[in-house]
Amino acid sequence: MPIDFTSLPKTELHMHLEGSIPVEALFALVKKHNRLDEAPSVEHVRRRYEFDDFAHFLEVYKWTVSFLKTVDDYEFIAYEVARTLVKQNVWFAEIMVGLGNSVMYGGHDPVAIVRAAWRGFKAAEVRHGIRIRVQIAAGRDHGADFSLDRLRDIEPLMGEVDICAFNMGGSEHVHPLPQFAKVFRRAHDMGLKVSVHAGEVSGPQDVYDALDLHPQRIGHGIRSALDPMLMDDLKRRDVALEVCPVSNECTGAVARLADHPLPRLIQAGVPVTLSSDDPAMFHTSVSREYEVAHEVLGIDTSTLVKIAREGFRRGFMDEALRKELLQKFDQEARHWCNARDIVFPE
């Protein structure tokens, strides 16, 4: 029987702000900036979010970012994105604010947009109780010096905005991670946690390279399933993968959702969490990722409740908050399981 995971308490640890703008909110920006000729209705915006391949996806991503014209737009989308999480009973989220496209193509001041996004997240916390942290994200494609410059830009904000981590995405095949070692060293020196997209479309070597950067988590990392030694390494080093199955199908990282390696990773004991990546653009949500894992990949509900708990164990938050949220999770998730005749995982 299909199970609705919406009401299960969850985290969202891998989500890009710009890829998560609900279509209605993006349409509001289309109208605000007088660009109805490009998308005359919400339905048109929805249809723009259909991709042929990864290159097309990046093109649409840039189109979306082109509607973020002012700092108020960032504050607005940050609040709207947070609301989508509140509706799914997400209690803690880390949201990546991408400084690549916004600075390179949008001409924005990185400090101003991080501040604006933070205002939106805080407003959501005050109104709805959700806890949100900012991850600063940059792309491999912009080069190591670009990322170093952005880390320097945001350093003065660190007492003011809860910036928990540095993250890097971008073209894995073109820009191998060893050339970014100095960027990650700098991030660690600044006291930031680190997650890095790796092994999403390229092979296990990319994940080995990522491990050399000493991340606490790895984004995707699904190609690790091709290499038993690497899976052992992830387990031994206790580095969790942020797995986003629907995204992997949409970008072609896996040919068919049914062939997704998540069950193999779980079987091998690799720590995993579940996330939605760019939910608006991939027509998904964090709840839907749990549904897909259950219905398409055959992962049993008790294991999925354990994965939800893992999100609270792996989230970049202080230990007092972790303790509070884990206690609350154990209470509420137990009720959630009892009401559905599901064994609560001990």
Stretch that binds Zn ion, among 31-39, 124-132, 230-238, 269-277 (CB under 5 A): 269-277
Main-chain dihedrals φ then ψ at residue 15, nearest 5 degrees: -150, 130
| Residue 96 beta carbon to Zn ion: minimum distance, rounded to whole angstroms | 7
Q: Does the annotation mark 319 as catalytic?
A: no
> Residue 21: beta bridge partners?
none
268: its two tokens:
């091998």
Stretch that binds Zn ion, among 26-34, 69-77, 141-149, 275-283 (CB under 5 A): 275-283
Residue with smaller CB distance to Zn ion, 71 or 209:
209
Which residues neighbour 264 within 8 Å (Cβ) at sequence distance 6 or greater? Answer: 225
Residue with smaller CB distance to Zn ion, 39 or 150:
150
257, 289 contact by CB (below 8 A): no
Q: Is 27 helix (H, G, I), strand (E, B) or coil?
A: helix
Residue with smaller CB distance to Zn ion, 277 or 291:
277
| Residue 242 beta carbon to Zn ion: minimum distance, rounded to whole angstroms | 8
**How many residues of this chain interact with Zn ion, rule: CB under 5 A?**
1
307: its two tokens:
């994965």
Burial 89-125 (b: 16+ CB within 10 A, else e): bbbbbbbbbbbbbbbbebebebbebbbbbbbbbbebe
Residue with smaller CB distance to Zn ion, 94 or 277:
277
Stretch that binds Zn ion, among 20-28, 131-139, 203-211, 272-280 (CB under 5 A): 272-280
| Residue 285 beta carbon to Zn ion: minimum distance, rounded to whole angstroms | 15
Site string for Zn ion, 206-225 (x = CB under 5 A): --------------------
147, 167 contact by CB (below 8 A): no
| Residue 144 beta carbon to Zn ion: minimum distance, rounded to whole angstroms | 19
Nearest position to Zn ion, beta carbon: 277
Stretch that binds Zn ion, among 136-144, 270-278, 313-321, 331-339 (CB under 5 A): 270-278
Residue with smaller CB distance to Zn ion, 20 or 88:
20
43: its two tokens:
């339905």
254, 260 contact by CB (below 8 A): yes
| Residue 275 beta carbon to Zn ion: minimum distance, rounded to whole angstroms | 8
How do beta strands 193-198 and 217-220 pair? parallel
Which residues neighbour 43 within 8 Å (Cβ) at sequence distance 6 or greater? Answer: none
273, 13 contact by CB (below 8 A): yes
Stretch that binds Zn ion, among 49-57, 184-192, 276-284, 323-331 (CB under 5 A): 276-284
The answer to whether 277 contacts Zn ion (rule: CB under 5 A) is yes
Question: CA 148 to CA 136: how far, in whole Å?
Answer: 12
| Residue 197 beta carbon to Zn ion: minimum distance, rounded to whole angstroms | 5
Residue with smaller CB distance to Zn ion, 206 or 277:
277
* CA distances in angstroms from 102 to 126, 154, 163, 214, listed in the order given: 27, 14, 18, 27
Catalytic residue among 75, 200, 242, 289: 200
> Under rule CB under 5 A, which residues in 54-93 are in contact with Zn ion?
none
Q: Which spans of this chain sit near Zn ion (rule: CB under 5 A)? A: 277
**Which sequence positions are flagged as catalytic?**
200
